[in-house]
Chain A
Amino acid sequence: MTRVGDIAAKVRSKNAGPFWLTIDVFCADSAAFTRLSQGLKDTAVARLFQITPDSLLRFDIADLKVIKFSLPRPAIQGARADRDMHGAAFAELLADLEFR
């Protein structure tokens, strides 16, 4: 089984303010970028975060070999339901996603 994190050089997640989460998938080379850019589907990422694909923003930035996803935070930062103040661990969820 190949995971997103096996292809990417690094996956990073962070708050983009208290209401948004942003996840950056960094690739070491163009081959990895192309592979993930073409193979990583919005629907799979949306399903992973249990949201509808239309609330997922996506940027494929070839110059930087980065694929960026932004979405409304699963829980507002610091609210009772929030588990991760800085949004740090959502990267691991995407890194663990099985890539076909």
Chain B
Amino acid sequence: MTRILVPSGALGLGYDRAALAAGVAASPDLIAIDGGSTDSGPHYLGTATSKYSRATTMAEWAELMQARAKAGVPLVIGTAGTCGADATVDWMFEITREVARRTGERLRVAVLKSEQAGPEMAAAFAAGRITPLSGAPEINADTLAQCTHIVALAGAEQIQAALATGADIVIAGRTTDTAIIAALPLARGDHPGAAWHGAKVGECGALATTRPGSGVVMLDFDGEGFIMTPLAEGAAATPQSVAAHMLYENADPNHLHEPGGLLDVSDAKYMALDAQRTRVIGALWRKSHRYTVKLEAARPAGYQVVSLTLIRDPRYIAGAREWCAAIEAKCTDQARTRLGAARFTIELRRIGIDATLGALETGHVMPQELGILAIVTGESAEQAGEIAKMLNPYLLHHPLTPDEPMPTFAFPFSPPEMARGMVHEFCLNHVLELDNPMDAFRLEVVEI
């Protein structure tokens, strides 16, 4: 039997404090919280920075450290600092040290790092140890050399190694969302299918309950299944809400790949224990013959400068498609001629018509007003800035036809150009084969 307390889907999102207190009072064996994912885009891994504010992270983490001290059990964070790169693990460690200094607490902290060196990954690729998953982009040795950060997703084994150090707090780099919850029940011999299934259902906190915003849930694992209990007043984990969570952010609702195997919930059974709790049995863990960990990486994708123009004239709204295409073509020519620049793009998106779905849009309703989001992507910040400035006179005055008075459009800002700096893109959807689960990871214990 293992009881895991999950305060929320991610550190920085907030949670119900009374529910957390109830969870601590219920004597959990471990408190686990996720620190991030790829869901906010490639910038965070590209730059090794956190999406959430440091002050918010510290405020919530200090409360969780206090909850941990009260419960007297380990506190584990996975994917520290949104992306789980080494620098964000260090960032999280510094926050932990600052809180401990303030409270005077003495702690043993296990730091698990997941970042991979480009040259080592290039060697693994050459040796055939990096293989693509479905939908992966084509890569070569150059791709790996271009990445600013590559991380491997740790699984249960690496978290178990961190817990085995006797740590009070585990700060882990990139891990699978589920590993931080599944590690302890697996180590203690609870049902492996149930351990991974419960971890998947619980990794988003209360999202699998009738009150998704309340955060706190408790998972009880045993030799046959698991029980999910939301701890906020009025929240319920129903067979429907728990089963439906396998749909969430998951391409296949019955299967989930994890390091070392595959979770199969095709035959899972969901039973209401009472109005609040659901028990689940029947998930299977299929161990794989190879031990692989997923890789994530981001690389630079140019420098961007954007601007926003507002159009209220109905004739220009109706002619927006031609107007945008003409400006894109004219400004592209001008940038080629004046800068000799070859590698850049100018894209005008029509907010109000099809900026969200682009060529997939099927609606044809004309809006009251139109936003023109201009996106210039170039090879350097200077080049993108120059091209964005060449674009401005067109956005300000370009006429739909040559024989009409010069129009003027609305700009909310001066200057209209907003520099976004270097942008990044995800470039790996691959797995790395390991002989030993710890091969790609580094574990360090620090007393603070």
Chain A residues within CB distance 8 Å of chain B: 14-20, 22, 24, 26, 48-50, 57, 59, 61, 63-64, 66, 68, 70, 72-74, 76-80, 83-86, 89-90, 92-93, 96-97
* Residue contact B363 to A96, C-beta cutoff 8 Å: yes
CB contact between A19 and one of B39, B136, B423 (< 8 Å): that residue: B136
| B134 surroundings in chain A (CB, below 8 A) | 20, 72
Ordered by A's residue number, 18 sampled pairs between the chains whose C-beta atoms are within 8 Å are: A14-B248, A16-B249, A17-B38, A17-B251, A17-B429, A18-B296, A19-B136, A22-B249, A22-B251, A72-B134, A76-B137, A77-B38, A79-B42, A85-B41, A86-B40, A89-B357, A90-B357, A97-B362
| B252 surroundings in chain A (CB, below 8 A) | 57, 59, 70
| B302 surroundings in chain A (CB, below 8 A) | 80
In the complex, whether B319 has a CB less than 8 A from a CB of chain A is no
Q: Which residue of A lies closest to B43 (CB)?
A: A78
Given A48-B362, A80-B423, A96-B363, is A20 in contact with B251 using a C-beta cutoff of 8 Å? yes
B: number of interface residues (CB 8 Å): 43
| B296 surroundings in chain A (CB, below 8 A) | 18
| A89 surroundings in chain B (CB, below 8 A) | 356-357
CB contact between A64 and one of B244, B249, B359 (< 8 Å): that residue: B244
How many A-B residue pairs lie within 8 Å, measured between CB atoms? 107
A55 CB, min distance to chain B CBs, angstroms: 9
Given A76-B137, A78-B42, is A22 in contact with B250 using a C-beta cutoff of 8 Å? yes
Q: Which residue of A lies closest to B354 (CB)?
A: A83
Q: Which residue of A lies closest to B347 (CB)?
A: A80
| A73 surroundings in chain B (CB, below 8 A) | 135
A20 CB, min distance to chain B CBs, angstroms: 5
Chain B residues within CB distance 8 Å of chain A: 38-43, 133-137, 240, 243-244, 247-254, 296, 301-302, 345, 349, 355-363, 375, 377, 423-426, 429
A16 CB, min distance to chain B CBs, angstroms: 4
* Residue contact A64 to B425, C-beta cutoff 8 Å: no
Given A15-B249, A77-B42, A96-B362, is A84 in contact with B136 using a C-beta cutoff of 8 Å? no
Q: Which residue of A lies closest to B345 (CB)?
A: A80
Given A18-B38, A85-B41, is A50 in contact with B359 using a C-beta cutoff of 8 Å? yes
A33 CB, min distance to chain B CBs, angstroms: 13
CB contact between B243 and one of A17, A18, A64, A84 (< 8 Å): that residue: A64
| B133 surroundings in chain A (CB, below 8 A) | 19
Q: Which residue of B lies closest to A61 (CB)?
A: B253
| A68 surroundings in chain B (CB, below 8 A) | 247, 253
CA A79 – CA B375 in complex, angstroms? 13
CA A92 – CA B362 in complex, angstroms? 10
CB contact between B42 and one of A18, A26, A49 (< 8 Å): that residue: A18
* Residue contact B247 to A84, C-beta cutoff 8 Å: no
| B375 surroundings in chain A (CB, below 8 A) | 80
* Residue contact B357 to A16, C-beta cutoff 8 Å: no
CA A18 – CA B38 in complex, angstroms? 7
Q: Which residue of A lies closest to B44 (CB)?
A: A78
CA A23 – CA B158 in complex, angstroms? 33
| A76 surroundings in chain B (CB, below 8 A) | 137, 425-426
* Residue contact A19 to B135, C-beta cutoff 8 Å: yes
CA A77 – CA B46 in complex, angstroms? 13
* Residue contact A48 to B360, C-beta cutoff 8 Å: yes
Given A22-B249, A66-B247, A93-B357, is A86 in contact with B423 using a C-beta cutoff of 8 Å? no
